[in-house]
Chain A
Amino acid sequence: MNELFVTTESGDLLLSDTTKRSRRIRNRLASIWMAGSVLVAVVPLALVIGYVLIKGVGQLTPDWFTKDLPAVTRRAGGGMGPAIVGTLLITAVAAGMAVPLGVLGAIYLHEYGGRGRLGRLIRFMADVMTGVPSIVMGLFVYTVWTIAHGLSAFGGALALACLMLPIIIRTTEEMLRLVPDELRQASYALGNRKWRTILTVVLPAAFGGITSGVMLAIARAAGETAPLVFTIGAARNLNLSIFNGPTTALSVQIFGNAQTPFEAAQARAWGAALTLVAIVFILTILARIVAARVARRHNA
């Protein structure tokens, strides 16, 4: 019963019963509130996934992954192959551009020039860019790239990379900030140079967080529709070329098919939605595994 005895300034040893009771009630209320918030937050998420799963799972036949899109959308049949490949290709090219740039930019901001005027300007611009609507990015890439070079996967990748870049810069910078300065000091004190300290101490320590940030950006980009509508067109057939000719993507297919009044097309939209969710889910899990491996190798 020791916890009931509290010494106060006046020397009282025991708090009154009413204080204890009101404290306990407030504690209970706060706990209920927090647990309730978690539930409310989880319910829509579970509903979305459940709904997509139920509506879309019927579409996932072998043909779905291999066949081209049907010539007539209102009829059943055909597959989603070109859109699946398109989404993977466009997102991969976008990540290939945005991840190295973003991570290097964040390293510059946090480890080198972040406190100067240029650093502050870059950070400010990255913040502004995070808030730019994706359709504006699509229009931007449309004017600077698509008009001159035509519809292609690369145009879509450019637009997605523009969307990913600020997210990667800001999350990576936050993760670098979390690496304790004592580790950098320890490295310097052993006669390690700055670039090598970043490579051997700072980045390994921040790797898990950086991967999470990158995955967040990739997941966001993979689901974007607006920037792709302007830049990649709407192909029915598989197009493996990055620079030549229109292609298509899952998000664009969801958008197009869901708008039609035809049942077969709407079912296709649900199937595409489920496929997209599954791709993001699998990518995230893969990234977690890779991050854990690297962390174990570097950090034991």
Chain B
Amino acid sequence: MTEGTLRESASEVVRAPSFIADAPTSVPDNAAVVFDVSGLDVYYGNFRAVRDVNLQIHTHEITAFIGPSGCGKSTVLRCFDRMNDLIEGARIDGKIQFHGVDLYDPRIDPVEVRKRIGMVFQKPNPFPKSIYDNIAFGPRISGTKENLDDVVERALRQAALWDEVKDRLKKSAMGLSGGQQQRLCIARTIAVQPEVILMDEPCSALDPIATARIEDLMQELKSEYTILIVTHNMQQAARVSDRTAFFTTEVNPESDSRTGLLVEYAPTHKIFSAPEDERTENYVTGRFG
């Protein structure tokens, strides 16, 4: 599928809410679904890393993926922008739909997917270029016709970094602190104007103050972007997210390997106050993991 058709079908679905809003009894939320994941299994070679993931990601919400190490939450996250394609032998079964478009349709260009679904990594990874060039990198590649200075300023303001760096835009991004670097990476992602931002443990390398700033930033960004965050930190999930997906691992009986699976997916307050599954309860109360 070409970029054009992806855009078209996406915009069709985006238009849908207005029709539904006119209907007296609308299906709650359904039109606001960004990702619809059904029966997702992820394999690395013959090894099944994650099985049976079914969930829907809603627009302008923060969805948190929590769970113990090795439960596959990062693996699932990386399916949403097809970053797993870069790992040799990685493949999926099942379906991930983005506004009704199958992301793994052979006609889909993963590069176009990544322009619309940005990603922020665990370790801040600014390019060894100037602050300005880091932000301008994405817009330059997509050949934006906008004034680059404006794009850079807007992205840095949105990422709450502008005041700290406006006097040293031409200086290397490597000179920023870890927290600033991570906000720079968020700004760099925003500059491409994606619809969704995936965050893979964005605060695990940061101190509590830098973490708090990123969390505040996520709340501000929520009005414009749909955010998915993988976190090891349950308090963080409870603080920032609207919905939480709890993953865990199970030992495969025939071998020593472990496969991750989705246990429970619900509004965050429900996961933390009244989880339905015993495994979720054990995890969020600290009895396991």
Residue of A nearest to B115 (CB): A191
Q: Is A128 an interface residue (CB 8 A)?
A: no
Q: Is A11 an interface residue (CB 8 A)?
A: no
Partner-contacting stretch, out of B10-18, B65-73, B133-141, B209-217: B133-141
Cross-interface CB contact of B137 among A185, A190, A299, A300, cutoff 8 Å: A190
Residue of B nearest to A192 (CB): B141
In the complex, A30→B168 CA distance in Å?
44
What are the interface flags for A192-212 relative to B under an 8 Å C-beta threshold, 1 for contact and 0 otherwise?
Answer: 110010001100110000000
Q: Known: A185-B121, A200-B137, A299-B172. Is A190-B83 also a contact (CB below 8 A)? A: no
B288 CB to closest chain A CB (Å) equals 31
Cross-interface CB contact of B138 among A180, A182, A191, cutoff 8 Å: A191
Q: Is A286 an interface residue (CB 8 A)?
A: no
A183 x B125 contact (CB < 8 A):
yes
Q: Is A186 an interface residue (CB 8 A)?
A: yes
Which residues in A have their C-beta under 8 angstroms from that of B125? 180, 182-183, 185-186
B124 CB to closest chain A CB (Å) equals 9
A189 x B129 contact (CB < 8 A):
no
Q: Is A298 an interface residue (CB 8 A)?
A: yes
Q: Is A124 an interface residue (CB 8 A)?
A: no
Which residues in B have their C-beta under 8 angstroms from that of A200? 137, 141
A299 x B128 contact (CB < 8 A):
yes
Q: Known: A185-B121, A200-B137, A300-B171. Is A191-B127 also a contact (CB below 8 A)? A: no
What are the interface flags for B186-200 relative to A under an 8 Å C-beta threshold, 1 for contact and 0 otherwise?
Answer: 001100100000000
A52 CB to closest chain B CB (Å) equals 39
Q: Is A188 an interface residue (CB 8 A)?
A: yes
A190 x B173 contact (CB < 8 A):
no
Which residues in B have their C-beta under 8 angstroms from that of A299? 127-129, 172
Q: How many CB-defined contacts (below 8 Å) exist between A and B?
A: 75
In the complex, A74→B131 CA distance in Å?
64
Residue of A nearest to B131 (CB): A300
A223 CB to closest chain B CB (Å) equals 34
Number of interface residues of B (CB under 8 A): 32
B86 x A188 contact (CB < 8 A):
yes
In the complex, A185→B74 CA distance in Å?
14
Cross-interface CB contact of A298 among B83, B121, B129, B141, cutoff 8 Å: B129
Number of interface residues of A (CB under 8 A): 20
B170 x A191 contact (CB < 8 A):
no
Q: Is B21 an interface residue (CB 8 A)?
A: no
Which residues in A have their C-beta under 8 angstroms from that of B203? none
Which residues in A have their C-beta under 8 angstroms from that of B252? none
**Most chain A beta-carbon contacts within 10 A, residue among B83, B123, B125, B137:** B125
B114 x A189 contact (CB < 8 A):
yes
Which residues in A have their C-beta under 8 angstroms from that of B131? 300
B128 x A191 contact (CB < 8 A):
no
Q: Is B81 an interface residue (CB 8 A)?
A: yes
In the complex, A121→B170 CA distance in Å?
44
B111 x A189 contact (CB < 8 A):
no
Which residues in A have their C-beta under 8 angstroms from that of B121? 182, 185-186, 189
Interface residues of B in 70-95 (CB under 8 A from A): 81, 83, 86
Which residues in B have their C-beta under 8 angstroms from that of A205? 127-128
B127 x A201 contact (CB < 8 A):
yes
B192 x A191 contact (CB < 8 A):
yes
Cross-interface CB contact of B114 among A180, A182, A190, A298, cutoff 8 Å: A190
Which residues in B have their C-beta under 8 angstroms from that of A300? 128-131, 133, 170-173
A153 CB to closest chain B CB (Å) equals 40
What are the interface flags for A38-64 relative to B under an 8 Å C-beta threshold, 1 for contact and 0 otherwise?
Answer: 000000000000000000000000000
Interface residues of B in 207-248 (CB under 8 A from A): none
Residue of A nearest to B185 (CB): A186
| Other 15 A-B pairs with CB < 8 A, given A191-B115, A201-B127 | A180-B125, A185-B86, A186-B185, A187-B127, A190-B137, A190-B188, A191-B138, A192-B137, A196-B141, A205-B128, A298-B129, A299-B129, A299-B172, A300-B131, A300-B173
19 CB contacts below 8 A, A to B, read A183-B127, A185-B86, A186-B188, A189-B81, A189-B83, A189-B119, A190-B115, A190-B141, A190-B188, A190-B192, A191-B114, A191-B116, A191-B138, A191-B141, A193-B111, A200-B141, A201-B127, A299-B128, A300-B130
> Which positions in B face A, CB cutoff 8 Å?
81, 83, 86, 111-112, 114-116, 118-119, 121, 123, 125-131, 133, 137-138, 141-142, 170-173, 185, 188-189, 192
CB-based closest 7 A-B pairs? A191-B115, A300-B130, A182-B125, A189-B119, A190-B138, A191-B114, A300-B172
